[in-house]
Amino acid sequence: MKILVCISHVPDTTSKINFTDGDTKFDTNGVQFVINPNDEFGLTRAMWFKEKQGASVDVVNVGSSETEPTLRKALAIGADNAIRINAEATDGFYVAKQLAKVVQDGGYDLVIAGRESIDYNGGMVPGMVAALIEANFVNTCIGIEIEGDTATVVREIDGGKETSIAKLPLVIGGQKGLVEESDLRIPNMRGIMMARKKPLTVIEPIEASQGTKVVNFKKPTPKGEVTLIDPENVGQLVELLHNEAKVI
């Protein structure tokens, strides 16, 4: 079985975010980048298929050379090969077109992507890839088992879970639940050394239109001031809730 894991190169959630050029560009200075958390759950699950069922695991990313350390981390975790599509990931449809071409050329049985990336939170790429390659698609996937050419998948729905059976080739939009956070892997020294010798192929993007572009960025409104009240002063609390907050 051939598995392709889509990797997004995203800012660590603890990074301080700033913008430049009149709030039209993201300032990467001082920002640490990581594997998108939803993708990391998928990569860890792919490693399970590699170890238990002998699957081969490739990782792919749409991005410039700055994303290669993130791909190298995926290789250190255990992926066999890495592919970098040499283009900026600025539009969901554009990214999906690039990924679909890699899937078609590589003949992959299973494509694992995160249900969304934590930078743009578009949540559209996995479904678009599935449509472009005419494959089955399961989103918000929290469990998957494969036997032969049949996958049993569990996805999260409002108020519960849904179990389905799908034929390969299959695209899933994964999230926490594919594995637990305690199952995520930290590259060890042996993995890091081996990753340096594993193939990282750079390919040029295909011609594809971009349907969206960034006009500007805007930070969330700062939180308002907080008034601290002595826990013994219930009367003041009631007065402020009534006269200032106007919630009672």
In angstroms, the CA 110 to CA 129 distance is: 12
pLDDT at 57 over 90: yes
Domain residue ranges in the chain: 2-216
Q: Is 207:85 a contact under the CB 8 Å cutoff?
A: no
Listing DSSP states for the chain in one string gives -EEEEE--EEE-TTSPP-EETTTTEE--TT--EEE-HHHHHHHHHHHHHHHHH--EEEEEEES-GGGHHHHHHHHHHT-SEEEEE-S----HHHHHHHHHHHHHHHT-SEEEEESS-TTT----HHHHHHHHHT-EEEEEEEEEEEETTEEEEEEEETTEEEEEEEESSEEEEE-TTSS-GGG-----HHHHHHHTTS-EEEEPPPP-----------PPPPPPP-----TT-HHHHHHHHHHTS---
pLDDT at 40 over 90: yes
pLDDT at 228 over 90: no
CATH code for the structural domain at 2-216: 3.40.50.620
Note the pLDDT tens digit of each residue in 140-189: 999 999 999 999 999 999 999 999 999 999 999 999 999 999 999 989 99
Q: What is the pLDDT of residue 224?
A: 80
Cα torsion 125, 187, 28, 68 to 10°: value is -70
Tally of CB atoms within 10 A around 121: 9
